[in-house]
Amino acid sequence: MKIMVVGGGGREHAIIKKLKENKRVSEIFALPGNGGMASDATLVPIGAKEIDKIRDFALKEKIDYAVVAPDDPLVLGCVDALEAVGVKCFGPRACAAIIEGSKVFSKNLMKKYSIPTASYEVFDNADEALRYIESCPIPTVIKADGLALGKGVIIATDRDMAREAVNSIMNDKKFGESGNKIVVEEFLTGPEVSVLAFTDGTTVVPMVSSMDHKRAYDNDEGLNTGGMGTVAPNPYYTEAISKECMQTIFLPTIRAMKNEGREFRGCLYFGLMLTAKGPRVIEYNCRFGDPETQVVLPLLQSDLLDIMMATTDGKLAECEVKFANEAACCVIMASSGYPEAYKKGYEIKIDDKVLDSVYVAGAALECGKLVTSGGRVLGVSATAPTLAEAIKSAYSKVEKISFEGAFYRKDIGKKAMMAMEDEI
């Protein structure tokens, strides 16, 4: 089978490596992929948002199955375009991807179907929003409606910050059209959990839970990033909580989307906060998380391609989805300066012994050498019977990789380990 994976980061690399385990797969194309994936996939210089070119390529190469991984092409209708010419796909159509593409849509969906989330107000007028934040409880959370490269959420700890957030999103259009509307919502507290789930629109199968580390530096200091590391499973996410989430969040969401005529097929990402009053949805993503995928897929024992195709065909209930009863840790190595300005073009050296555990996100091949080309350069994952061992193993692999200006958090998994000790 000829497979095509749309996207070019560490998440896509993890998906590609897992798909390769299936013997029926003869070739995988990555659009555009990145230089660090060259030994796992054929790189095709077509951007993830170039929907027409993606469709034409799929037809020309007679692609048997396409996986559309990032949010942008999903929201732009990449799956719709491919399906229209008969290419089977993993991922939701645009009408369902809106669950991530519009926070106003997802908040209204949750309200309509009583799915637990933070209380909120929607504004399409900056003056009204500014009036509201003069008297709303502080801290408050201000979210741009549309996609904003993961930067559209501002936690305002005082009214000045809240005013600035409203002005920059709605008046200065910091995120362009994505800021035409905003959601202002209640500030919640509690441990955060990421749960990715396969769904064919009717059946929902949650994967092993995980914990992201979003801040740039140790002890959750520094700016928010795309994610500096992950561990799985997330110790806060107990069996009892997972049962509760299935009943109050996962199934109601899938049914709500179907009821709205927006059946969701693909991977639905539930960003949850475990508050004192119970689990609440912080966000939905219409795709696999990054870097959650880099810890979740290494623990998957069943065949990823079989599961994906069952999802597409509405046969997920008949498919085995089994995860190892182990733990995983992924440490992201980033370019000095990330998430702000950073330099590119430094040679990356990776010891052959750890190559299998490396998921490359931001690298390019220049004259046969792999060089840095992004903020988050790569992720290094390890699995082991216990979380402590997985963390130790991931960090020992990090030692075998180098590039100038590399930095990484030294405390990935520390919070999870502390949570486990508290339980004992």
Q: Which residues contribute to the site for ligand GLY (CB under 6 A)?
A: 150, 212, 227, 285, 289-290, 292
Count of residues of this chain found to bind ligand AMP when the rule CB under 6 A is applied: 14
Minimum CB separation of residue 147 from ligand GLY in Å reads: 11
- Residues numbered 124-163 forming contacts with ligand AMP, rule: CB under 6 A: 141, 150, 153, 155
Contact 123, 142 (CB under 8 A): no
Smallest gap from residue 300 Cβ to ligand GLY (A):
17
Alpha carbon of 322 to those of 223, 335, 345, 386: distances in Å? 36, 35, 40, 18
From the list ligand GLY, ligand AMP, none, partner contacted by residue 227 (C-beta under 5 to 8 A by kind): ligand GLY
Confirm or reject binding of residue 118 to ligand AMP (CB under 6 A): yes
Handedness of CA 413, 418, 422, 424 (dihedral sign): positive
Binders in 309-338 for ligand AMP, by CB under 6 A: none
Which part of the chain contacts ligand AMP (CB under 6 A), choosing from 5-13, 14-22, 25-33, 180-188?
180-188
Q: Following DSSP, what letter does each residue of 119-177 receive, concatenated?
A: -EEEES-HHHHHHHHTTS-SSEEEEESS--TT--EEEESSHHHHHHHHIIIIIS-TTGG
| Residue 185 contacts ligand AMP per CB under 6 A | yes
Strands (E), 157-306: 182-186, 192-199, 204-206, 211-212, 215-217, 221-224, 229-232, 266-275, 278-285
Looking at 32, 47, 222, 271, which residue binds ligand AMP (CB under 6 A)?
271
Exposed/middle/buried for residue 77 (C-beta within 10 Å: 0-12, 13-18, 19+) = middle
Q: Which does 188 bind (CB under 5 to 8 A by kind): ligand AMP, ligand GLY, none?
A: ligand AMP
Is residue 187 a contact residue for ligand AMP (CB under 6 A)? yes
Pick 152 or 227: Cβ nearer ligand GLY: 227
- Give the Cα separation of 104 and 122 in Å (integer): 7
Residues 33, 47: Cα–Cα separation, whole Å: 9
Closest separation in Å from C-beta 85 to ligand GLY: 29
Q: Which of 63, 67, 76, 188 touches ligand AMP by CB under 6 A?
A: 188
The one of ligand AMP, ligand GLY, none whose footprint includes residue 40, by CB under 5 to 8 A per kind, is: none
Burial of 417 (0-12, 13-18, 19+ CB in 10 A): middle
**Longest Cα–Cα distance in the chain:** 61
SS3 string, 66-112, reads: EEECCHHHHHHCHHHHHHHCCCEEECCCHHHHHHHHCHHHHHHHHHH
Q: Is 192 in the site for ligand AMP (CB under 6 A)?
A: yes
Q: What are phi and psi of 274, to 5 degrees?
A: -90, 90
Beta carbon nearer to ligand GLY, 55 or 376? 376
**Residue placing its CB nearer to ligand GLY in the complex, 77 or 150:** 150
Partner touching 289 among ligand AMP, ligand GLY, none, CB below 5 to 8 Å by kind: ligand GLY
To ligand AMP, the closest distance from the beta carbon of 377 in angstroms equals 22
Q: How far is the CB of 363 from ligand GLY (least distance, A)?
A: 19
Rounded to whole angstroms, the Cα distance separating 296 from 235 reads 14
Q: Residue 181 in 3-state DSSP?
A: coil
**Among 63, 55, 70, which residue's Cα sits nearest to residue 10?**
70
Nearest-approach distance from CB 133 to ligand GLY, in angstroms: 26
Query: Residue 292 binds which entry of ligand AMP, ligand GLY, none, with Cβ cut-offs from 5 to 8 Å by kind?
Result: ligand GLY
> Based on CB atoms, which residue is closest to ligand GLY, 87 or 412?
412
Task: Report the nearest approach of ligand GLY to the CB of residue 98 (Å).
Answer: 16
**Binding site residues, ligand AMP, CB under 6 A:** 118, 141, 150, 153, 155, 185-188, 192, 214, 271, 282-283
